[in-house]
Amino acid sequence: MTGRHIALRGINKRFGALTANDDVDLDIASGACLALLGENGAGKSTLMKVLYGITHADSGTISIDGVQQNFRGPFEAMAAGIGMVFQQFSLAPALTVQENLLLASPTAPWLHVPGSRALTAVLEVLARLAPDIDPRSRVADLAVGERQLIELAKVLNLNARTIILDEPTSVLTPTETKRLYGFIETLVADGAAVIMITHKLADVEACADHTAIMHRGRMVHAGPSADLSRQQMVELMIGTASPATADRPSAPASTTPRVIVRKLAADTETSSVANIDLEVCAGELLGIAGVVGNGQTVLADALVGLHPLRGGDVIVDGHSVAWTPKPRIPDGRVAYVPEQPVHNAVVPDLDLSANLGMRSILQRRFWQFSRQQQDADARALLESADVRPPEPMRKAGTLSGGNLQKLVLGRELAGAPSLIVACYPTMGLDVAATRAVYRNLFEHLDRGAAIIWISEELDDLLDYAHRIAVLHGGRIVGVRDWASASRAEIGDLMLLGALPQCA
C-alpha cells in the first residue's frame, strides 16, 4: 500500500487579537497515528479545523502528495478522504442513529425506503464498531461514549483515509478508551492516517507513532514519539522547565473538626446518598473517591446547601449550612466549585465582568450597583486569578476550560470560605491549568480552610489528599489515611463497595 502524505505549511490563523496558529508546519503520513499534543487553547483544534476546511487559514498551504489543496468547506475535505470527529459532537440529538448516519453519508439514496439495502448499508461500519447500539434509538438517549462511536462511524462511512479525532478520550470511560485504542490500531494497520488531538500522555503512550506538540499557537516539536520522554513532552507542552506537579499540602495543624457532616441523606430522582458521616479539620483535604454515578453530584449539592436533605445536617464552624426552604444569601462560609463549570458555574453568554460580579451583587442593595465598580473589581480579579485573556468584556463562553476554571475559583474562593467543595475541578484541563487549580486550592488549605474534593482520578487523590473516603452506592464504604491507603484497596472499595473477603 502506498501511503499518502499531507503537508501543512506556514498555517496562520488569527481570531481578532489572538493568534491561534502561528506559522505552523505539520506532516501527516499514512499508516501511522499522530498525536497532536498541547494544553487547552494551544490551537490544536483550530489547526485541524483548517485542514478539514471548516476554518479558513489567514495564510499557509495544505498539500496532499505534493498537490496543493484549497478546501472551501468540509465537503471538499471529505471528498479528499479527510474526516474529523469533533470535540463538540455534531450529531442531531433528536434524530435517530440511522438518520444521523444517513445525513452524513454522501452515498445515501435520495429516497429512504425503510428497510431497504441502501439504508442498511450506512449501518455496516457501526455494526462492527458497536454491535449493541440500536440504530433506531434517538441519539439523545445514548451515552457519550456511544455518541462518539457514531461520530467515528460517520467518518469511516466516508471512506476517510485521514481521520482526525479531537480529544476523543476526554469523554470516555477507561474501557471505552481501551476499545478506541484498538480501533485506532486497526485503522492504522489498514493504512489510514489517524490524528489524535489530546493532552493526555497516556494516549500518546498507548498508540501514537508520531507526536507533534503545540504551545501557544506554535508547533514546538514534531517527530517520532519514542524520541521524547514523558518529562520532555510535559516540558514542551507547558513551555516551562519545571514540570514537577504540585507538592502534597502539609498535614493539617489541628485535629478539631471544622466541618461536621452528620448522617446526611439526600435524594434526587436518579440517585441518593444516605448515612454520610464526615469530619474535616482546618487545613485538611478530604478526597471523595468513587466511580461516577455513585451519588457524587447529589452529595456535593447537599453539602453546600443547594439540595434539600432528607436527614442529617452539615455543620461548618458550628453553624448549619444545609438547605433551608427559605432562600438565604450565601454568607461566604461555603464555596462550591461545581463539575462542568461552563454549564454550572457561569453564564456563557454574559461577559466576564458580570460573571465575576454574581456573588458580590447579592450583598449590595439595588441602588448600590455600579458597573464601573464591577468592571474594576473584575479586572483586579482576572489579574490575580491569571485568567487569560484578562478582558472583562469578553463573553465567558469563549474562554478555554482552564481559564474558565480559574475564573470560577477566583470568584468562589474570594471570600476566604471555611469549607470548599470541589467537584472534578481539573477535569479536561491541561497540565498547567491543573497545576494552577491545585496551587489555588492548596493556598486555602494553608489558610485553614477545609476542602472536600470529589474526584475519580484515584492517583491524584492518593497524591494530594490527607484522607480518602470512598463513595459507593450512595454510602461512604471506607475512609483511609493517605499514609495507610493502598491503591488496590481503594480500587476494590470503589468498584465493589467492600473489600474481598479473606479466605
Strand partners of residue 335: 420
Question: Quick one: which segment of 37-45, 75-83, 395-403, 428-436 binds Mg ion (CB under 5 A)?
Answer: 37-45
The residue type of 147 is R
Q: Cα 42–458–419 angle (5° rounding)?
A: 85
In the 3-class helix/strand/coil scheme, how is 378-423 assigned residue by residue?
HHHHHHHHCCCCCCCCCEHHHCCHHHHHHHHHHHHCCCCCCEEEEE
SS3 455: coil
Q: Does 308 bind other proteins (CB under 8 A)?
A: no
Are the beta carbons of 300 and 423 closer than 8 angstroms?
A: yes
SS3 348: coil
Question: Quick one: which segment of 40-48, 104-112, 196-204, 282-290 binds other proteins (CB under 8 A)?
Answer: 104-112
- Alpha-carbon distance of 5 to 162, in angstroms, equals 10
> Per CB under 5 A, which of residues 41..80 are in contact with Mg ion?
45
Question: Quick one: which segment of 94-102, 247-255, 413-421, 495-503 binds other proteins (CB under 8 A)?
Answer: 94-102
Nearer to other proteins, 12 or 69 (CB): 69
Strands 475-481, 467-472: parallel, antiparallel or unpaired by DSSP? Answer: antiparallel
Task: Choose among Mg ion, other proteins, ligand ADP, none what residue 64 binds, the Cβ cut-off being 5 to 8 Å by kind.
Answer: none
Judged by CB under 8 A, the number of residues near other proteins is 28
Nearer to Mg ion, 46 or 455 (CB): 46
Q: What are phi and psi of 278, to 5 degrees?
A: -145, 150
Q: Does 71 bind other proteins (CB under 8 A)?
A: no
For residue 389, the minimal CB distance to Mg ion (Å) is: 17
Q: What are phi and psi of 180, to 5 degrees?
A: -65, -45
For residue 249, the minimal CB distance to ligand ADP (Å) is: 29
For residue 198, the minimal CB distance to Mg ion (Å) is: 10
Intra-chain end-to-end CA distance of the chain, in Å:
57
The site string for ligand ADP over 5-34 (x = CB under 6 A, - otherwise) reads: ----------x--x-x--------------
Q: CA of 82: how far to CAs of 65, 275, 383, 400, in Å?
A: 14, 54, 41, 26
- Alpha-carbon distance of 289 to 321, in angstroms, equals 23
Residues 6 or more apart whose CB falls under 8 angstroms from that of 270 comprise none
For residue 180, the surrounding DSSP H or E stretch is helix 174-189
- Alpha-carbon distance of 337 to 410, in angstroms, equals 10
Q: Does 349 bind other proteins (CB under 8 A)?
A: yes
Q: CA 24 from chain center: how many Å?
A: 25
Nearest to 444 by CA among 356, 334, 363, 306: 334
Q: Does 112 bind other proteins (CB under 8 A)?
A: yes
Q: Does 202 bind other proteins (CB under 8 A)?
A: no
- Alpha-carbon distance of 454 to 252, in angstroms, equals 19
Nearer to other proteins, 30 or 355 (CB): 355
Judged by CB under 6 A, the number of residues near ligand ADP is 13
Question: Quick one: which segment of 40-48, 421-429, 445-453, 484-492 binds Mg ion (CB under 5 A)?
Answer: 40-48
For residue 392, the minimal CB distance to other proteins (Å) is: 17
For residue 430, the minimal CB distance to ligand ADP (Å) is: 8
For residue 48, the minimal CB distance to Mg ion (Å) is: 8
- Alpha-carbon distance of 321 to 306, in angstroms, equals 10
Nearer to ligand ADP, 88 or 270 (CB): 88
For residue 44, the minimal CB distance to Mg ion (Å) is: 5
Question: Quick one: which segment of 9-17, 102-110, 234-242, 273-281 binds other proteins (CB under 8 A)?
Answer: 102-110
Question: Quick one: which segment of 37-45, 133-141, 324-332, 457-465 binds ligand ADP (CB under 6 A)?
Answer: 37-45
The site string for ligand ADP over 40-59 (x = CB under 6 A, - otherwise) reads: xxxxxxx-------------
For residue 345, the minimal CB distance to ligand ADP (Å) is: 18
Among 6, 91, 125, 285, binds other proteins (CB under 8 A): 91
Nearer to ligand ADP, 41 or 53 (CB): 41
- Alpha-carbon distance of 168 to 165, in angstroms, equals 6
Q: Does 374 bind Mg ion (CB under 5 A)?
A: no
Task: Cell numbers for 467, please give them.
Answer: 484522607
Nearer to other proteins, 6 or 101 (CB): 101
- Alpha-carbon distance of 194 to 32, in angstroms, equals 6
SS3 82: strand
Question: Quick one: which segment of 67-75, 356-364, 414-422, 484-492 binds other proteins (CB under 8 A)?
Answer: 67-75
Q: What are phi and psi of 248, to 5 degrees?
A: -65, 135
> Per CB under 6 A, which of residues 368..407 are in contact with ligand ADP?
398, 400
> Per CB under 8 A, which of residues 461..500 are in contact with other proteins?
none
Task: Cell numbers for 208, please give them.
Answer: 501514537
Q: Give the residues lining the site for other proteins (CB under 8 A).
A: 54, 73-75, 78, 86, 90-95, 99-100, 102-104, 108-114, 348-349, 395, 397
Q: Give the residues lining the site for ligand ADP (CB under 6 A).
A: 15, 18, 20, 38, 40-46, 398, 400
